[in-house]
Structure 1
């Protein structure tokens, strides 16, 4: 199912339409829709080669690549060629030069070729320099192991460095892309589902919207044979040689330890040793480091908080990983009760992330007629503001509070938000700043909040501007 990847498709299409030859690198973790995007891209191209590498020996992959090339170009004569990368690519170039349109060659799961022969990046560098560069071709190298793809195709040490025409890290989609998979408009159900699938298309596609959120969790994550019960184990095992420490770090973050010192203390590690693991998790795009949006030099800020970026990983390490013994014993109801007890609190942090998307979408579509270009959160020792947006000249800020509760939000919440905003204003260089307030509520607002709403207040019931 091709959903919400129009921007990525446009990037590929624009490069294809350029007159010069193109070498493009597409990478990202598994199940984010890379292969679906590539197949959509070549859907309307009459002559193209799509090859999915596997874990066999290089010669077997080469033999399959030759066969797929014959099928893609509609010429069985290639089957008589000697078995070599150079011979196959020379044939492709000779074929491409006889056409008016560019010929596309896709090598999916490129990392498997590298595993079978570490010299493959050097081989492809020579093929590009001597055969493909200058020819009417578009070569796309795609891979699911972020670390290996970066090392073998993008890093300065890679033989292919400096030769690519473009690159794209395929990330999970946001909430607005996620919701396009579903017919329902029930925001609460959608956000609960998003809290455990995140924006990964493969996880989303297995959700049955006829069932409750809890039943989908049971079927897709908890029970034996469910498709994603051990997904984080497989992903980390592919990317990392010894994942035990990484599991402990992710578990600590999922259970509320966001400061590097607190994570180190929980795991009985030294901060210096922990930083190496955190940096690796950031490279894999699994963990992010947040700093207050007002920090002038985020990289050097001492206020950094670590957060699992992916909802599915966050959910799995919060609820599934600690309960693996129960799951192995088949005590699914015990685990599900634990999930249900903590799900609303878990969803509240997800709602904060979604609220940021909501504000950005309202700005983009003109429903909020202000210019903000810095977005994030803000906190000091005892105060936290869920959402902050700052104008380019720092003369206007928007501060937001999110409430994922079963009661309508009262005017008291606005009073507390204004108190927090004053503390934020005091740390700004320019204190002559205009403040707009935004409150997001799962279950609406009290009568006094609606009746006495000031002009500088935006009220969002779920995702709708009231």
Structure 2
């Protein structure tokens, strides 16, 4: 299994503990949650069942009944409700013949896509609550794992629940997309021979989602692969965007409207700016949608350095969503192969590379050797300067330094000419004047291929390249 070392350690702890374990696993759709659990436990479950997309309560119970039968329940009827379903699961787990994990002897119960089981007026959550609190929580050899792609549902109904699940979880795990380092390992293991430049470009499109990366075929260039996946009539990812949101959210049109509005501004929008667009919901409904999109990893919420207490910005950062809206939604191109190398392609690369960097802030901190230094990340927009000034990433450090990060994509070494030097000086001076900070300001260049040796470097305190983003 590629990566996931921290997660495997958590699962190992569950096996080695002498108490009942209740683990909630969540993360973006296609990120590899089910794969992680099935691979780690080698399918040695005492019971496994999954929710089914867009099925009613009776259909969900039918699926659950089939799973009970598979694992040894002889009852032929479909449970009349979830309380009966979990009662039968309890009896199944108490049988002497129940299947156990071979290393620890523990009983492993894995309930996948839990939010889909919780249909309207089904009392699913109450039945699960009763199952755990009345029986499961006293079984020292039981590991209950619940999982779902609707991250917001898992967080609100299980992780942050104030009712029956309050303080009942023993472990929680937010599975994140792969880093560039992990993507490189996966692609190598799949037999793809891609340069790091091509791996970065694949990340600009597919993000760190293993499910998408596994579609890339050896023997085809990256451009050929992208054409087959997105621009072929039967491309497996051609309609992924629509399926993604409809499977995660009820009233998915509300979420898509927010996503589309955010895609119009690369630096993001405030809540007020979103409302001013007149294209999105307002009030508590907007708050809920923004929280859900943040929790699912499609957008990030960040603060301006000069507005730390309010006025959050919301920025679209999911690579595949951005790719869809830029090229498929607008039908700008018919072939990625033909688009590569055009001026518009390099403009897109510049924007997409910024998103890749924002998704690798931990790697940037390691490259700057400040992983152990307390720090916070912000962005900044000038409110006064003319011409305007903006910094998309700054790292405010406890050791009295602020890294002002400039992110530039260039296939060749990037050159800082006299005009760009003046722009960098202008940004730093405006930032100093408007924030009144006393900290040292270090201009930090993050470029894919590095800085040209003949470039003006006097004002550059730190230099990072694309290779630094591949740190583990």
* Shift in alpha-carbon separation, 1:287–1:461, aligned structure 2, 3 A: closer
CA RMSD of aligned residues (A): 3.6
Q: Is the 8 A contact 2:261 2:279 kept in 1?
A: no
**1:67-82 aligned within 5 A:** 67-70=69-72, 78-79=73-74
**1:224-263 aligned within 5 A:** 224-256=233-265, 258-260=268-270, 261-263=272-274
- Number of residue-to-residue matches in the alignment: 442
Q: Which residue of 2 aligns with 1:74?
A: none
More helix by share: 1
- CA deviation vs aligned residue, 1:88-146 (integer Å, no higher than 9, x gap): 32331454799973221111122333238722221121111222112110011112223
Q: Is the 8 A contact 2:45 2:109 kept in 1?
A: no
Q: Distance in 2 between matches of 1:374 and 1:385?
A: 14
CA apart distance, 1:274: 8.3
* Shift in alpha-carbon separation, 1:370–1:448, aligned structure 2, 3 A: farther
Q: Which residue of 1 aligns with 2:171?
A: 166
- CA deviation vs aligned residue, 1:140-173 (integer Å, no higher than 9, x gap): 1112223443454345366434322122232323
- CA deviation vs aligned residue, 1:40-79 (integer Å, no higher than 9, x gap): 2212x86643333434724422322223424xxxxxxx43
| 3-state SS in 2 of match to 1:115 | coil
* Shift in alpha-carbon separation, 1:268–1:238, aligned structure 2, 3 A: closer
Q: Which residue of 2 aligns with 1:306?
A: 314
Q: Distance in 2 between matches of 1:411 and 1:58?
A: 61
| 3-state SS in 2 of match to 1:153 | helix
Q: Which residue of 2 aligns with 1:404?
A: 409
Q: Which residue of 2 aligns with 1:178?
A: 183
Q: Is the 8 A contact 2:203 2:356 kept in 1?
A: no
Q: Which residue of 2 aligns with 1:321?
A: 329
CA apart distance, 1:371: 2.8
Q: Which residue of 2 aligns with 1:281?
A: 293
Structure 2: give runs of 5+ residues left out of the alignment: 80-84
Q: Is the 8 A contact 1:251 1:318 kept in 2?
A: no
* Shift in alpha-carbon separation, 1:48–1:347, aligned structure 2, 3 A: farther
Q: Distance in 2 between matches of 1:31 and 1:315?
A: 17
CA apart distance, 1:185: 6.1
Instruction: Return the match for 1:350 from 348, 352, 371.
Output: 352
CA apart distance, 1:200: 1.1
Q: Which residue of 1 aligns with 2:205?
A: 196
| 3-state SS in 1 of match to 2:109 | strand
1:296 counterpart = 2:298 = no
* Shift in alpha-carbon separation, 1:442–1:46, aligned structure 2, 3 A: closer
* Shift in alpha-carbon separation, 1:148–1:460, aligned structure 2, 3 A: closer
Q: Which residue of 2 aligns with 1:75?
A: none
Instruction: Return the match for 1:214 from 199, 223, 228.
Output: 223
Q: Which residue of 2 aligns with 1:142?
A: 147
Q: Distance in 2 between matches of 1:273 and 1:151?
A: 15
* Shift in alpha-carbon separation, 1:158–1:144, aligned structure 2, 3 A: farther
CA apart distance, 1:403: 1.5
- CA deviation vs aligned residue, 1:359-415 (integer Å, no higher than 9, x gap): 63364478568835212432223211243112225x112222121135543343455
| 3-state SS in 2 of match to 1:397 | strand
Q: Distance in 1 between matches of 2:411 and 2:59?
A: 57
* Shift in alpha-carbon separation, 1:116–1:58, aligned structure 2, 3 A: farther
CA apart distance, 1:311: 0.7
* Shift in alpha-carbon separation, 1:386–1:256, aligned structure 2, 3 A: closer
Q: Which residue of 2 aligns with 1:26?
A: 25
| 3-state SS in 2 of match to 1:332 | coil
1:441 counterpart = 2:447 = yes
Q: Distance in 2 between matches of 1:191 and 1:46?
A: 37
Q: Distance in 2 between matches of 1:139 and 1:208?
A: 36
Q: Distance in 2 between matches of 1:247 and 1:347?
A: 24
* Shift in alpha-carbon separation, 1:368–1:42, aligned structure 2, 3 A: same
CA apart distance, 1:263: 4.3
Instruction: Return the match for 1:132 from 136, 158, 183.
Output: 136
- CA deviation vs aligned residue, 1:211-245 (integer Å, no higher than 9, x gap): 33332222112222211111121222233343334
Q: Distance in 2 between matches of 1:279 and 1:212?
A: 38
1:421 counterpart = 2:428 = yes
Q: Which has the higher contact order (CA 8 A, sep 6+)?
A: 2
Q: Distance in 2 between matches of 1:390 and 1:370?
A: 13
* Shift in alpha-carbon separation, 1:365–1:29, aligned structure 2, 3 A: closer
CA apart distance, 1:309: 2.5
Q: Is the 8 A contact 2:49 2:63 kept in 1?
A: no
Instruction: Return the match for 1:50 from 45, 48, 51.
Output: 48
1:85 counterpart = 2:99 = no
* Shift in alpha-carbon separation, 1:141–1:186, aligned structure 2, 3 A: same
* Shift in alpha-carbon separation, 1:226–1:91, aligned structure 2, 3 A: same
